[in-house]
Structure 1
């Protein structure tokens, strides 16, 4: 989610085809499958190709690699999944139809303790709620709550989730002083053997905490250290969201790059050629 600092073919019968494809997923699956089944892959492909995703969202697939990322996180269509800080719902638009038939999707909107971000976050959260309300056939089973000061509100989160996912949010929580409390909340929310999936802008090794807060890029070592302190065991790393063109030395930090272009037209062609940020993709397990 980027809020100020916080930051194929079309289907003939779109919604019917999408939900039918989701129903093809197997009725049972291990908590950590070795590889996705053909039917589960077809279900995920259908969700990614679905008409609920606009052209702007699809244009970012080349940088965000949703299929490979979710497969790395060992997602299957029968799970109970909690996404943290969904922002505008980029991943929600994939997860909701994918989990519609056999799984469950929960969304926790993040409440920052810093007043300067409160109004903007509330506007984004309200837009997200309207988005869900406008398409009940697709989003009607999604449960929405709040993550506030390391506690979940709006649903019982104790040991009920197979997966907790967060995309590009760690830097926000470091700035807010909420990272460790949130990681402990994620650990408590997961079932034994459940996984935490993290995607985050990646800083160069040795970057100071202040530089990380200023630029939005986090070091892998920092994220791993704090996740392990919360009780997690590192289960894997993926380079699927890596971008070697990202030099990480811009006047507006990671927000200089697309899709934010915080600097406006200054350097825009250069940043467009670089693309979105270099990102770590990590998964942790609750033992």
Structure 2
């Protein structure tokens, strides 16, 4: 009897695995997959693909090819290199970063796939003493954005600047527009310390973003990592590249 149950379980697993392996990708996912194979992405980019899973993540965020997207604080452009080719024919990508840091994107923006990617200079600087961003007055200069992506950057601000950022996001989105936040997880109600400075309490994030007028539309556990104990700095060898991250999609009311 036990052997029969085991065989049935193996068969069921095989069928489900085969189904997901053959599951049809959406049109956006197919374009993401193509962008991931383009020559402008190097080995540093591709080695993170498995952990960041952009094919699943961008589908969950609700990305469409005809969207006007603001990528806030794009860092070294890991997401930019995928988003730009996906959006270039029907949509727009705006990189919100200080002018001096945007200059580093000039070589990339000249490559194939970036004709609809634009610089969006903002008043932002880095405070070495506090090890966080310092945000000046913030206005994205538009009111018709479809999506704002804030990927692993929310933790870099104090509460005053978070409120400023959330308000600017709300003001720049069209009704029904999406505000996406992904960040490293901190245990709920655990105080911020130096060790936990790059982690966020997702419940607190939800409350802060809702206070700006947003509605929480969806959340995902796609980046749940059971072996991340939520107590170490995200750069430590025991967790780096394998941190537990929450993914939240907020909507501006229509």
TM-score range relative to shorter protein = 0.7 to 0.9
Correspondence for 1:167 among 151, 158, 161: 151
Paired residues for 1:125-164 under 5 Å: 125-133=102-110, 135=111, 137-148=112-123, 149-152=136-139, 156-157=141-142, 159-164=143-148
Match of 1:92 in 2: 80
CA shift in 2, pair 1:150/1:213, >3 Å? farther
Partners of 2:186 and 2:231 within 8 A in 1: no
- Root-mean-square deviation (CA), in Å? 2.2
User: What whole-Å deviation, never above 9, does each CA across 1:64-84 have from its counterpart, x for those lacking one?
Assistant: 111111111110111111110
Q: Which residue of 1 aligns with 2:218?
A: 236
Q: Is the 8 A contact 2:215 2:252 kept in 1?
A: yes
Separation in 2, partners of 1:282, 1:52: 29
Alpha-carbon distance in structure 1 between the residues aligned to 2:251 and 2:66: 18
Q: TM-score, normalised by structure 2?
A: 0.78
Partner of 1:178: 161
Between the aligned partners of 1:225 and 1:150, the Cα distance in structure 2 is: 22
TM-score of the two chains, using structure 1 as the length reference = 0.70
Instruction: Assess if the C-alpha contact under 8 Å between 2:70 and 2:148 holds in 1.
Output: yes
How many angstroms apart in 2 are the aligned matches of 1:82 and 1:213? 30
Q: Which runs of 5+ in 2 are unaligned?
A: 1-23, 124-135
Match of 1:63 among 45, 48, 51: 51
CA contact 2:94–2:117 (8 Å) conserved in 1: yes
Highest RCO, 1 vs 2 (Cα 8 Å, sep ≥ 6): 1
Paired positions, count: 218
